[in-house]
Amino acid sequence: MSVAALVALHHELLLFAAVGFAIGGLDDLFVDILFITRKLWRELTVYARHQRMTTASLPPSFRTGKIAIFVPAWQESVVIGPMLRNALKQWGNAHYRIFVGTYPNDPTTVDVVAALAQDDPRLLLAVNHRLGPTTKADCLNLLWRAMRKEEESEGFRYKAVVLHDAEDVVHADEIRLYDFMIDRFDLVQLPVLPLPGRGGWFARAIANHYGDEFAESHGKLLTVREALGASVPSAGVACAFERDMLEALAHDPAHGPFDPSSLTEDYEAGLRIRDMGGRSVFIRIRDSAGELVATREYFPDSIPAAVKQKARWMIGISLAGWDRMGWRGGPSEWWMRLRDRRSAMAALILFAAYLTLLLWVVLWLIDLFYPIPSPPMSPFLNHLLWLNIALMSWRGIMRALFVGSTYGWRYGLGAIPRTLIANIIAILAARRAISLYVRSLMGTPLTWDKTQHHFPDLQTDP
C-alpha cells in the first residue's frame, strides 16, 4: 500500500508540474514571438532607412533642467565612497546633485559621505531622524524632503529624480540622456547589467545567474511590455522620474512619494504612473564607443544573500503586490502583472518537479527488488511531456542567445546549466518570502532586508 501511494503521488505531482511548465512555457513563447516579430518589423521599416541613434548624435533637451539623484545608504561604508567618486568623475559638471540618505546609527557610512560632501557641492548628505534600518522607501522619502527644502530655499524646481544604489557603476552619458528623454516621458528606465561574478566557480555561478535573468528581462521583456502599452516597472536603479509626476504619486507631497510600508517601492511607482495615465519608456542606446548605456553592479554571490534578496522582490511584487496594486489596466497590463506575480507559483511548480524526479528515483530503486505494477501513461500526459521538452529546449536556446549577446558566447552556454542554480534559489526564496509575508500579515513590520554589496576595482575588474 505504501508503494502504491508513492506511485499515485508521483503521478499527481508529475501531472501538476507538467501542466504548470506547459502554461509557463507557452506564456514565455508568446513573449518571444512578440519580441522577434517587433524586432524584424523595426529592422525592415525603421533601421533599413535610418541609422541607429547613439548618445553622440542625441540632440540637446529643449528645456534642460537640473537632475536630482537619490542614493539611499544603510551600512554601505565599504562601497558608497568609491561609488560617489566614480559618479562625480563620470558625470563631471553636468547639471545635477546627488542626495545621499543615511542613518544616525550607521556612523561609518555617515562619515564617508560627509567627508566627500564637505568639499564637493554636488553632494548633499541627509541623515534620517529614525534609526535604521527602516525601508528603502522611507529613506527615499527622506531624500525627497531634502530636495524640496533645497528647491524652496533656492527658488527653483528639479526637472527629474533619478534613483541609484550605493554599489552602482554609472554611465557617463546617462544624465544627458535623462535630460532629453524626460521631455517626452514620465519614467525613463535604462538597462541594468550585473557584473560577472568573482571568486570560485560556485560563487561565480550564483552571481552570473543574475546576469542571465537581466539579459532576458532588460533585453527582451521590458521592450515587449512597452510595445504592448503595458506599464514599465522601475528597477530601482538607472531610472528617472519626471519630478511633477513623482510628486503626484504622493498622498502627502511634503512627506514623500514612496510608500514606506512597501519593499518594492520602485516597481510600484512604475505601475502607478501607468495607472495615472503617465508615459514610460525603456531605452537601449549605445554611446559613441558602441557600449550600452546601462548601470552595472555586482549582485550577491552566495546562496543566503541571493535568497534574501529574491525573497524581498517576491514579497513586494508577487505577494504584497497582488493586494497593493490590484488588476488595473487592460488585457496587456493584466497579462504583464500576472507574469510579475507568478514567481511564487512558479517556485511551487519547480519544487513539485524536483520532488517528482526524486520519487522517480526512489520508485526505480524499489522496482529493482520488488516489481511495481505501474499504470500506463495517458496520451494526454505523454503529449504534455513532449510539449514541455520542446518548450524547455526553446527556452534554453533563447536564454543562451540573449546572455551570449550581452556577455559573450561562453557565458551564453553557461546560462543553461546555471538554470539549476536559479531554480534552487527561487524555491528557497519562495519559502522565505511566504514566511515573512505571513508574519507581516500577523503584525510583524517589514524592514529593509538588504544584502552586503561590493564595488569593482575599475582599474582591474571587467
267-299 pLDDT tens trace: 888 889 988 999 999 999 999 999 999 999 999
Instruction: Look at residue 137 and tell me whether its pLDDT is greater than 80.
Output: yes
| Cα-based torsion angle of the residue sequence 168, 170, 175, 177 in order, rounded to the nearest 10 degrees | -110
Average pLDDT over residues 363-390: 86
Quick one: which of 163, 5, 154 has its CA closest to 72?
163
Q: Check residue 135 and give its pLDDT.
A: 86
Query: Distance (Å, rounded) from C-alpha 346 to C-alpha 438?
Result: 19
| 3-class DSSP state of 290 | coil
Query: Distance (Å, rounded) from C-alpha 324 to C-alpha 293?
Result: 32
Q: Check residue 176 and give its pLDDT.
A: 94
Instruction: Look at residue 462 and tell me whether its pLDDT is greater than 60.
Output: no
Q: Where are the beta strands (DSSP E) in 243-351?
A: 280-282, 295-297
Query: What pLDDT digit, counting tens, does each position of 101-127 carry?
Result: 999 999 999 999 999 999 899 999 999
Helix axes 303-314, 409-441, angle to 10 degrees: 60
Q: Could you count the other beta carbons within 10 Å of the beta carbon of residue 446?
A: 18
Query: Binning pLDDT at 50, 70 and 90, where does residue 351 land?
Result: very high
- Cα-trace Rg, the chain: 24
Quick one: which of 189, 170, 190 has its CA closest to 90?
170
DSSP 342: T
Tell me which H or E stretch contains 98.
strand 96-102
Percent of the chain whose predicted confidence (pLDDT) is above 70? 97
Query: Binning pLDDT at 50, 70 and 90, where does residue 456 land?
Result: confident
Strand ordering across the sheet containing 187-189: 123-127, 96-102, 67-72, 160-163, 239-242, 187-189, 280-282
Residue entry with cell 517576491: 314
Query: What pLDDT digit, counting tens, does each position of 145-174 carry?
Result: 999 999 999 999 999 999 999 999 999 999
Go through 38-73 and write b for each residue having 16 or more CB atoms within 10 A of its CB, e for each that does not: beeeeeeeeeeeeeeebbeebeebeeebbbbbbbbb
Q: Where are the beta strands (DSSP E) in 31-95?
A: 67-72
Give how far the C-alpha of residue 356 lies from the chain's centroid of Cα atoms, to the nearest Å: 30
Instruction: Look at residue 263 and tell me whether its pLDDT is greater than 80.
Output: no
Q: Check residue 364 and give its pLDDT.
A: 85
Query: What pLDDT digit, counting tens, does each position of 190-236 carry?
Result: 999 999 998 899 999 999 999 999 999 999 999 999 999 898 989 88
What topology does CATH give the domain 55-308?
Spore Coat Polysaccharide Biosynthesis Protein SpsA; Chain A (3.90.550)
Cell reading at 52: 541607429
Residue entry with cell 535568497: 307
Query: Distance (Å, rounded) from C-alpha 462 to C-alpha 457?
Result: 9
Quick one: which of 113, 65, 59 has its CA closest to 88?
113
Quick one: which of 51, 48, 17, 120 has its CA closest to 358?
17
Average pLDDT over residues 244-250: 92
Count CA atoms closer than 13 A to 418's CA, side-chain side.
24
Instruction: Look at residue 32 and tell me whether its pLDDT is greater than 70.
Output: yes
Name the residue ranges covered by the structural domains of the chain.
Answer: 55-308
Mean pLDDT of the chain: 90
Q: Check residue 149 and give its pLDDT.
A: 95
Q: Check residue 461 and give its pLDDT.
A: 54
Percent of the chain whose predicted confidence (pLDDT) is above 90? 67
Q: Check residue 417 and give its pLDDT.
A: 94
Query: Distance (Å, rounded) from C-alpha 241 to C-alpha 459?
Result: 32
Quick one: which of 402, 430, 199, 437 has its CA closest to 307?
430
Q: Are 316 and 263 in contact (CB under 8 A)?
A: yes
Residue type, 4: A
Q: Check residue 336 and give its pLDDT.
A: 92
Instruction: Look at residue 317 and tell me whether its pLDDT is greater than 70.
Output: yes
> Which is more confidently placed, 234 or 3?
234
Q: Please enumerate, as own/partner, the contacts of 115-123 that have beta carbons within 8 Å and a separation of 24 or more.
A: 116/81, 116/84, 116/85, 120/88, 121/97, 122/88, 122/96, 122/97, 122/98, 123/84, 123/88, 123/97, 123/98
Query: Binning pLDDT at 50, 70 and 90, where does residue 86 land?
Result: very high
Instruction: Look at residue 1 and tell me whether its pLDDT is greater than 80.
Output: no
Quick one: which of 226, 297, 309, 325 has its CA closest to 462?
297
Quick one: which of 378, 417, 426 has its CA closest to 399?
417
Query: Binning pLDDT at 50, 70 and 90, where does residue 449 land?
Result: low
> Which is more confidently placed, 108 or 326?
108
> Which is more confidently placed, 344 or 126?
126
Query: Distance (Å, rounded) from C-alpha 32 to C-alpha 10?
Result: 32
Residue type, 232: V
Q: Check residue 266 and give its pLDDT.
A: 83
Q: Check residue 459 and give its pLDDT.
A: 58
| 3-class DSSP state of 232 | coil
Q: Are 222 and 239 in contact (CB under 8 A)?
A: no
Query: What pLDDT digit, counting tens, does each position of 377-398 carry?
Result: 888 999 999 999 999 999 999 9
> Which is more confidently placed, 329 or 296?
296
Instruction: Look at residue 446 and tell me whether its pLDDT is greater than 70.
Output: no
